[in-house]
Amino acid sequence: MATLDVRPISGALGAEIHGVALGGDLDAATVAAVRQALLDHLVIFFHDQELPPERFLAMAKLFGEPIEYPFVRGIDGFPHIIKVAKLEHETVNFGGIWHSDTTYLEVPPMGTMLVARDVPPKGGDTLFANQYLAYETLSDGMKRLLGGLKGVSSSAKAATTRTREDRKRTDPASRPHEDFTAEHPVVRTHPETGRKALYVNVGHTVRFAGMTEAESAPILDYLFAHQTKPEFTCRFSWRVGSLAFWDNRCAQHNPINDYHGHRRVMHRITLAGDPPR
């Protein structure tokens, strides 16, 4: 296996990888090493990458199967690449809440790749949170309680729908008003590492299966606050050409909306996953 220059950026998760040109010809050993770094660190970062759309898509295919996002159409000629943007006149940023991507789908994505095309002069960082640690630091009693529960995720949760309205207006998908709902284990076992991770999120989870929203709220509110404690997180600062690749099965993210009056434009690809178990 290739040896990478991997530099962790926090005690909880996240590592920068240096000396790899993702837009070039990656051999099998390098692809395997990058994937192992992702499994080890949950989110990995690269700087100074030359990744026009055709190279970005080709690179992503080395790590999984790109899938389309249900609410925003892809950029011209590339249906699997969506624009994640907040423009100078806008006040709400796309996905600006803690979440794991599209858990309202029956088969949520394995991972997400995001490459920076335009960044503000300051601000616009992204936070990530380790959901292995979120689960492992729960009490034994809470683990027993959660072990048999399923969470119901909805694409219509108000706090999240608001964050995608600007892009739905400018780049609507063919069915931008369709709602999606799915049930997944509150604690999922990662199919590659075998570790257990907390798998609810404030962006999409509305209740526990078999319970009302009111009955679910006290425990969910506790979990939402617990799973994003500072000691479970890292923070990444973008520059043009930076790329982040995160594992949706065990990490959450939250783009910070602190750059009003400035433009931030990213391109995103999500990779097909497997039914959470």
Tally helices (H) and strands (E) across the chain.
Answer: 6, 16
At position 164, the amino acid (one-letter code) is: R
Pairing of strands 126-130, 251-255: antiparallel
Closest CA relative to residue 126, chosen from 13, 1, 2: 13
Active site residue 101: yes
Is 239 among the catalytic positions? Answer: no
CA dihedral 119, 42, 101, 172 (to 10 degrees): 40
Q: Which residue has the tokens 């335009």?
A: 118
| Contact between residue 17 and residue 6 where contact means Cβ atoms under 8 Å apart | yes
Active site residue 253: yes
Q: Is the dihedral of CA 99, 127, 271, 242 positive or negative?
A: positive
Closest CA to 136 of 248, 232, 200, 8: 232
| Alpha carbon of residue 184 to chain centroid | 17
Say if residues 269 and 101 touch (Cβ distance below 8 Å): no
List 35, 41, 249, 253, catalytic entry: 253
Q: Where are the beta strands (DSSP E) in 101-255?
A: 111-118, 126-130, 150-154, 181-185, 187-189, 196-198, 205-208, 233-236, 243-247, 251-255
- Find the largest Cα–Cα distance for the chain: 53
Catalytic residue, from 80, 99, 164, 264: name it.
99
Which of the residues 73, 101, 204, 207 is marked catalytic? 101
Q: Which residues are catalytic?
A: 99, 101, 253, 268
